[in-house]
């Protein structure tokens, strides 16, 4: 409990010095900040008018104007909400869905595919919101368990590695698995991984998805 209170002290003191009694109590109460973050997530997901962050993570060639970035996915910016968010009109069937983590939500399209991830930290002392658009296809180089088990690093060193192409959670292409050799030089492993990445990229290009990393194509 002492450690828990220790990291809250600066936030509580800052609120108190500003005369912000409400947030002083939030920071001084065990679990108060976590509840504030969870409430912020619920408010965002359940808002009558959808709002999305002003801060957008996309390839730089998309340009600086917020409206232009959102328009790439058919999202219309209809007005300001506050310093972090704008009000938007989503395409038909799209929705913002909260995850189990109080700072993360998912923007899903009409087919339930994740088009963007939304981060929102609603804690009063460090409010921030970001939306990151993702591509339809993702290339990964990973061990056999795809980091989805409790395996240790040593156990994963004894697993085969693969290059994989994901569409959402579905693996649609994989390279042949290779078992790393004991004591293998990292440069050898790194070169192999780059080869797999290229193989996956070539597979995607061969199926008409050469620009697979573009988050606004092929949907």
pTM of the model: 0.78
Element (H, E) at 17: helix 2-17
Whether the per-residue pLDDT at 62 is higher than 60: the answer is: no
12 lies in some domain: no
Residue 83 falls inside a structural domain: yes
Q: Considering the domain boundaries, does residue 177 fall inside one?
A: yes
Confidence of residue 167 (pLDDT cuts 50, 70, 90): very high
Domain that holds residue 54: 31-133
pLDDT at 2: 44
In a domain? residue 216: no
How many domains is the chain built from? Answer: 2
166 domain-assigned: yes
pLDDT of residue 1: 41
Are residues 97 and 51 part of one domain?
yes
User: Is residue 219 included in any domain, yes or no?
Assistant: no
Mean pLDDT of the region 93-120: 94
Residue 42 lies in a domain: yes
**Pair (128, 178) in one structural domain:** no
* pLDDT above 90: percentage of residues in the chain: 61
Q: How confident is the model at residue 22 (pLDDT cuts 50, 70, 90)?
A: low
Residue 76 lies in a domain: yes
User: 157 and 92 in one domain?
Assistant: no
């Amino acid at each position: 409990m002492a450690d828990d209170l220790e990291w809250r002290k600066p936030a509580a003191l800052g609120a108190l010095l500003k005369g912000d009694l409400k947030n002083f109590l939030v920071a001084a109460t065990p679990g108060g900040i976590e509840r504030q973050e969870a409430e912020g997530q619920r408010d965002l997901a359940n808002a009558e008018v959808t709002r999305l962050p002003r801060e957008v993570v996309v390839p730089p060639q998309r340009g600086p104007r917020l409206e232009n970035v959102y328009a790439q996915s058919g999202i219309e910016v209809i007005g300001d909400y506050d310093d972090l968010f704008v009000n938007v009109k989503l395409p038909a069937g799209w929705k913002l869905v909260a995850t189990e983590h109080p700072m993360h939500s998912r923007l899903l399209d009409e087919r339930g595919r994740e088009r963007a991830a939304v981060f929102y930290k609603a804690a009063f002392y460090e409010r921030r919101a970001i939306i990151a658009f993702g591509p339809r296809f993702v290339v990964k180089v990973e061990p056999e368990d795809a980091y989805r088990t409790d395996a240790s690093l040593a156990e994963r060193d004894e697993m085969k590695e693969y290059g994989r192409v994901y569409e959402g959670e579905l693996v649609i292409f994989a390279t042949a698995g290779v078992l790393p050799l004991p004591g293998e030089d990292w440069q050898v492993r790194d070169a192999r991984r780059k080869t797999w990445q290229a193989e996956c990229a070539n597979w995607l290009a061969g199926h008409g998805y050469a620009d697979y990393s573009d988050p606004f194509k092929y949907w």
